[in-house]
Amino acid sequence: LGVETVGDLVHLYPRRYIDYGNVQPIASSLFGRMTTIQGVVSSIEKRRTATGKELVDAVIDDGTGRIHA
């Protein structure tokens, strides 16, 4: 990165910027597109896969729909 001084760090800008401020209702979100949602976690389920890895599934509800994450 070439950061050697505090000044270098202050002037280190990200290559890209993602704006998470545009919150969309779950009902109007499109499958396959990155979308910012805001809601309540209504349930969490934790389980192990056949390979022994732990998998966590959370259901998020915003009043217009529900999504598994």
What pLDDT score does 14 carry? 82
**Burial annotation 1-13 (CB, 10 A radius, 16+ → b, else e):** eeeeeeeeeeeee
Residue 1 has pLDDT above 80, yes or no: no
What confidence tier does 19 reach under pLDDT thresholds 50, 70, 90?
confident
DSSP 31: T
Say what the pLDDT of residue 48 is: 95
Its pTM stands at 0.66
Q: What percentage of the chain has pLDDT greater than the value 90? A: 65
Return the pLDDT at 50. 94
Query: Would you say 1 and 13 are in contact if contact means Cβ atoms under 8 Å apart?
Result: no
